[in-house]
Structure 1
Amino acid sequence: MSRSVPRVPAVATPFLLALTLALTLTACSGPGGAHGTPGSAGLADPYFPKAGNGGYDVTHYALTLAYTPDASDTSDTSDTPNTSTPLSGTATITARATQNLSAYDLDLKGMKVNSLTVDGKNAPWTRTGQELTVRPPSTLPKGKAFRTTVRYSGSPETITDPDGSEEGWLPTADGALALGEPTGSMAWFPGNDHPSDKATYDITITVPKGLQAVSNGELGTERATGGGRTTTYTWRTTHPMATYLATVAIGHYDITRTTKNGLPVYVAVDPREAAASREVLAKIPEIMEWEEYNFGPYPFSSTGAIVDRRGDAGYALETQTRPFFPGAPDTATLVHELAHQWYGDSVTPKTWRDMWLNEGFATYAEWLWSEDHDGDTAQQTFDALYKGDYYDNKADSDAIWAFPPANPTSAAHISDSPVYERGAMVLHKIRRTVGDARFYDIVQGWATAHRYGNADTADFTAYVEKMAPGKDFSGIWKDWLYGDGKPARP
């Protein structure tokens, strides 16, 4: 419901006339007198209600970053993380208004805002927690494309997730690492930090000479700047990417650039992990070929990996086109993170409740790889999990049944075993119901139908039923996907 314009009394005093004019301008500011309302602060995600913002859709991020370690010596002689990591940045965010927009929020945690403009004009702003509220000079009409430029600086934060893991900006012994799942990107750039709003990216990073900066997509230029004292790297991501998949890794790396079947492969490895990583990373072209055969055409224009030291982060992550690994990965983990490029990166969940659509698919990719490479079959893995023989201890075996994969109990549990293993078990149940030929039609078709978009669990179940008419999936949905506890029969 739009705001009404106050009615002027038949006899109006100058004060009442002035008040009426002010209220009218507030309600009807902008071109054509469009009524504007603020976009929502948060998108009411089931687990992270403050994440993201309403009223607009981001189409592109242009991030220009400059990182300066506290120590002037960038030689790699210590295992002690650099805990002072000053960062300055300019973020130009191109977006489209999805309503008549009088104000809107960006997610930004901790950094100091130095200036802010909307379409080149200074705009007032306020901050409350992670919410940076912007008031454009005039209402942005629905459908209008606009640019917000934020200049900011400071020491970006390391964020502790509800499950205790760390993300955001992670200092390392020789640089820094930016990881974003689920809400860490707001530590190092302002944006619409929710998986439902994907955009393209240009990321420019300037670092002291001797350090390297690796990010998503393709490397455009690497050039000496600052009179030879710094090096500037430009990276471009031309396919839509969720904020949590954006990354920057700064440090010393051994860089390998190859091309396989026309696909650029860019791998950056910390020198201390190079020997241990060499054999498994050499499998990337083979794994990519196998995954394309099973999951359909690769959705992006390059691939590769970032391998930092063990302890730099507590987990691997499917950062788009360039998965991150803390230490040399094993083959199963590499298969898992590369499979995410289809399931999670290209087809991205609408909310964090749908995490199993990422992790169930990537976990099942591990099972399929084992099956095709003389290891346990997917059926054997399924049976071992169901019987409690997969893990060495009862607690891990029982954890699989703690909650249904489509409904984690809280934000602290969206990366727990039911989302991974039981999510994969749902896919195996589908495979057993429809047979191999139709199953691969389903997983490939799913990746194609929602390529570069977002989807949720209801979209997936509807797609499966459409692709296999006449098959009854009600028991799978009821007992395995949404049901509490261990299903009575495997």
Structure 2
Amino acid sequence: MERSSGHRPTGDDGGPVRARPAPAGILPALLAALSAILLVLVSTGGCTGFRRDDRPATAGFRPGAPGVGDPYFPTYGNGGYDVAGYRLKVRYDPATDELTGDATIEATATQELSRFNLDLAGLTVASVQVDGVDAGHARTEDELVVTPATGLGKGRQFGVRVRYSGKPAPITSPELGNGGLLHTSDGAIALGQPESASTWFPVNDHPQDKATYQIEATVPEGLAALSNGVPDGRSTDAGWTTWRWAERVPMASYLVTLVIGNYRVSTGTHAGRPIVTAIAASLPAGGPAEQSLARTGEIADFLATRFGPYPFEAYGGIAIAEERIGYALETQSRPVYGPAFFSGGPDLEVVAHELAHQWFGNSVSIRRWSDLWLNEGFASYAEWLWTEHDGGPSAQEMFERVYAGTDWAAPALDPGRTQIFSRAVYKRGALAVHALRRTVGDEAFFRILTTWTAERRNGNATTDDFVAHAERISGKKLRQFFDDWLSGSTAPPMP
């Protein structure tokens, strides 16, 4: 319905219109007619103008799902809303391992929403507000269930503020390893795949719901607090320093990192963007980690010639000394590298791998975890491309070596929940990428890659999406090809 403009109607003489008394007998008839009309409108739902976005959660409203329905991880993420951005303010004291947080989440309801969930592992919630009004909240294992004071209509934009505190604990999985905020001797490291974010802030924790981030981390003066995106300044007050970061390009939640501790931080610019690298102070100055990360810009520039323009506003990398982290992770715009990669000297292959993920996995993200080969296969193939460019064996030589040692009984596509980080996902995925190159030719192959990263930038995709894209660009039927190379139980003929 339209709201009144505040103007009063006028008569022919310019004066106010005055009501005239109704003739006798007319008024009861009019009232009866109006009653009948209202009855029809109510019974048919025609009086939609009286519905308001802030109406109570009654008929038509329902709770958002406690997961996005990923076959491997049904409770990851949540339904009923889409997050646009997070504003996180955290304060962490390494001496006590205590974290206090104030998270503001801007989202849009994707259904008539009576309540919704946020993923939050551990920690104690002090208060929750929706659009500035206190909301009900309860905990069900690693879910924070929020009930707004009134229902949220489909399409409504709303803000959630959660204040919380506690000692974060990592998420332990015997099959997938540990993830989350890990207390270290000099600070903490928040890192992990497929989940980690929910251990230090409330989140819709699945790659399908990418969002922007503004992060303020306050730590004891003298420590660094490193995160994703563009550095947004820092300030010190009363012995505490607040480091600010802004990732303005949508990011999947598992790609958010926070690294706190004693680090040698280097800042500069590369290709007109800030580049920030950090090396744990306990690692040797000028040593293998520093030598490797110093080539970040060079390697990213090479990959851009193969994959298309670099997709983010900043570059960088963080080399940690925490031995409990035996992996590197492609945290957006600033990968984190475990110490094992640089123990024997510089390792440029791992830098190429994690930087390739900025295109494959970060900019173009998976819709479900069973498609992880789309991330790891291309990143592994980037290692071959870089090695060839840097004077080592050619991509074809690497292909032949890996082909000869592959267990074809293990699929790269849909490998099973416990096998998403298996060799097949990485190496057999890379074999499929190179076999595609041999099948369609270099010109079509690299056009497939650059158009894929351009058309799907900042979005999500599936294997079916990639197959359809490769067929469209190459003009070839490729469904059986991908079935053979990703899922077949016997070795496909070498192209």
Of 322, 326, 333 in structure 1, the residue corresponding to residue 338 of structure 2 is 326
Q: What is aligned with 1:115?
A: 127
Matching of residue 480 in structure 1 with residue 485 in structure 2: yes
1:179-190 matches, within 5 Å, as: 179-190=191-202
SS across alignment from 2:329? coil
SS across alignment from 2:149? coil
* Separation (CA, whole Å) in 1 of partners of 2:116 and 2:93: 31
Matching of residue 364 in structure 1 with residue 381 in structure 2: yes
Q: Is the 8 A contact 2:118 2:144 kept in 1?
A: yes
Q: What is aligned with 1:345?
A: 362
1:234, distance to aligned residue in structure 2 (A): 1.0
Q: Is the 8 A contact 1:165 1:314 kept in 2?
A: no
CA distance 1:352–1:162, change in 2 (3 Å): farther
Q: What is aligned with 2:441?
A: 435
Report the AA paired with residue 109 of structure 1: A
Q: Is the 8 A contact 1:178 1:249 kept in 2?
A: yes
Gap runs ≥5 in structure 1: 1-27, 71-83, 389-396
1:38-437 matches, within 5 Å, as: 38-70=63-95, 85-225=97-237, 227=238, 229-273=239-283, 274-276=285-287, 277-327=289-339, 328=342, 330-388=347-405, 397-398=406-407, 401-409=408-416, 411-437=417-443
* Separation (CA, whole Å) in 2 of partners of 1:141 and 1:29: 8
Report the AA paired with residue 107 of structure 2: A
Q: Is the 8 A contact 1:166 1:314 kept in 2?
A: no
1:377, distance to aligned residue in structure 2 (A): 1.4
Report the AA paired with residue 363 of structure 1: S
Larger Rg: 2
Structure with the greater relative contact order (CA < 8 A, sep ≥ 6): 1 or 2?
Answer: 1
1:402, distance to aligned residue in structure 2 (A): 4.2
SS across alignment from 2:454? helix
1:480, distance to aligned residue in structure 2 (A): 1.0
1:272, distance to aligned residue in structure 2 (A): 2.2
Q: What is aligned with 1:36?
A: 61
1:427, distance to aligned residue in structure 2 (A): 0.6
* Separation (CA, whole Å) in 2 of partners of 1:126 and 1:416: 37
* Separation (CA, whole Å) in 2 of partners of 1:320 and 1:286: 18
1:186, distance to aligned residue in structure 2 (A): 0.7
1:336, distance to aligned residue in structure 2 (A): 0.4
Report the AA paired with residue 333 of structure 1: V
Q: Is the 8 A contact 1:195 1:348 kept in 2?
A: yes
Q: Is the 8 A contact 2:92 2:219 kept in 1?
A: yes
* Separation (CA, whole Å) in 1 of partners of 2:477 and 2:109: 42
Q: Is the 8 A contact 2:467 2:479 kept in 1?
A: no
* Separation (CA, whole Å) in 2 of partners of 1:56 and 1:368: 40
Q: What is aligned with 1:449?
A: 455
1:205, distance to aligned residue in structure 2 (A): 0.6
User: Once structures 1 and 2 are overlaid, which stretch shifts more, 323-332 or 192-201?
Assistant: 323-332
Q: Is the 8 A contact 2:53 2:156 kept in 1?
A: no
Q: Is the 8 A contact 1:180 1:246 kept in 2?
A: no
Q: Is the 8 A contact 1:218 1:236 kept in 2?
A: yes
1:404, distance to aligned residue in structure 2 (A): 1.5
1:51, distance to aligned residue in structure 2 (A): 0.1
Gap runs ≥5 in structure 2: 1-50
* Separation (CA, whole Å) in 1 of partners of 2:197 and 2:411: 28
Aligned residues: 436
Structural RMSD (CA): 1.6
1:296, distance to aligned residue in structure 2 (A): 0.6
1:32, distance to aligned residue in structure 2 (A): 5.8
1:330, distance to aligned residue in structure 2 (A): 0.7
Report the AA paired with residue 254 of structure 2: Y
Taking every aligned residue pair, what percent have the same amino acid on both sides? 46
1:312, distance to aligned residue in structure 2 (A): 4.4
1:434, distance to aligned residue in structure 2 (A): 1.0
SS across alignment from 1:96? strand
SS across alignment from 1:407? coil
SS across alignment from 2:318? strand
* Separation (CA, whole Å) in 2 of partners of 1:209 and 1:32: 48
Q: Is the 8 A contact 1:403 1:485 kept in 2?
A: no
* Separation (CA, whole Å) in 2 of partners of 1:172 and 1:293: 39
Q: Is the 8 A contact 2:94 2:183 kept in 1?
A: no
Q: Is the 8 A contact 2:89 2:102 kept in 1?
A: yes
Q: Is the 8 A contact 1:304 1:323 kept in 2?
A: yes
Q: Is the 8 A contact 2:353 2:383 kept in 1?
A: yes
What are the Cα deviations for residues 393-416 of structure 1, in whole angstroms up to 9, with x where unaligned?
Answer: xxxx53xx342211112x221111
CA distance 1:312–1:472, change in 2 (3 Å): same
* Separation (CA, whole Å) in 1 of partners of 2:79 and 2:392: 47
What are the Cα deviations for residues 256-279 of structure 1, in whole angstroms up to 9, with x where unaligned?
Answer: 112122122100111222332222
Q: Is the 8 A contact 1:337 1:362 kept in 2?
A: yes
1:247, distance to aligned residue in structure 2 (A): 0.4
SS across alignment from 2:269? strand
TM norm structure 1:
0.86
CA distance 1:36–1:158, change in 2 (3 Å): same
* Separation (CA, whole Å) in 2 of partners of 1:56 and 1:445: 30
